Amino acid sequence: MLHQNSYMVLFPNTKCNNHLRNSILMKNILLGILLILSMISKAGIVDYKTSPWHITVNKRTEYTGIALSNGRIGIMPSQLPFKVESIILNNVYDKESEQGVSKLLRGINFANLEMVIDGDTISENTISDWQQRLDMKEASLTTSFRFKEKAEIEYTIYALRGMPFAGLIDVTVKALIKNINISVAGEISCPEEYKNPNSTFRILKDNEIEMPLLQTVAKSPFGRHTLAATATFIFDHDFPVLKHSRK
């Protein structure tokens, strides 16, 4: 009887044992789901101060930019808001002088922007909390700053790998007050040594889709190459009113 009683204690009836096992299994599943969710949540949070993939700076003195490149073009950033120092072209050469050796050509700069908020142009003198962050894993450079007490602005520059002759600037503006008026201008600048620059603006239409194109074409200094650059805006809502002007 003692042996049987011990047996009954060690091995409960089948119905209770299945219930116990199901409860333990359900707890293990819930615990596993919670751990996975916790890992996913933590994976989305990046500590830029300790991340080996990121370099962050918040001072503009003695600034030296790091080019974002994709094998065809390089985009050299600037410490000035919405400005790119230069576009570098890979494997495109012209003579340095009449009797000089070949050198790499600078591209036509398509990546400069100008933003005006409530009539004030954003410049290095009107911003605070400036910061740049180089992401070596995603091959991007993010600049962020505050414009007065009206807006927080962030933009990220990419030299696109899937479209090797193209670059992208992704801009986000967060208003700090109820209403702000924003106007944005895209600028294409041609190196002074280039010849016969010709700038045009047109809007391509396909049914209801409109694509504004700002384009500049020019000859390299000694006429070896014809270079061109095109810029456009892409909005996540309807296009605002667009105007073309030359400086």
| pTM listed for this prediction | 0.76
Check residue 95 and give its pLDDT. Answer: 86
Check residue 141 and give its pLDDT. Answer: 95
Check residue 20 and give its pLDDT. Answer: 39
Instruction: Specify the amino acid at residue 139.
Output: A
Check residue 9 and give its pLDDT. Answer: 29
Residues of the chain with pLDDT below 70 are 1-46, 48, 247
Check residue 35 and give its pLDDT. Answer: 53
Check residue 103 and give its pLDDT. Answer: 86
Q: Which residue has the tokens 């996913």?
A: 40
- Report whether 172 contacts 101 (CB < 8 A): no
| Phi and psi at residue 170, to the nearest 5° | -100, 115
Give all strands of the β-sheet with 209-219 in edge-to-edge order.
195-206, 209-219, 226-231
Which helix (DSSP H) or strand (DSSP E) does residue 35 occupy? helix 14-43
Q: Which residue has the tokens 């047996």?
A: 7
Give all strands of the β-sheet with 127-135 in edge-to-edge order.
54-57, 127-135, 140-147, 151-159, 167-175
Check residue 43 and give its pLDDT. Answer: 52
Rounded Cα–Cα distance for residues 178 and 172 (Å)? 16
- Report whether 82 contacts 110 (CB < 8 A): no
Q: pLDDT tens across 40-90, in order?
A: 444 556 676 778 898 899 988 889 888 999 989 999 999 999 999 999 999
Rounded Cα–Cα distance for residues 103 and 92 (Å)? 8
Rounded Cα–Cα distance for residues 129 and 154 (Å)? 11
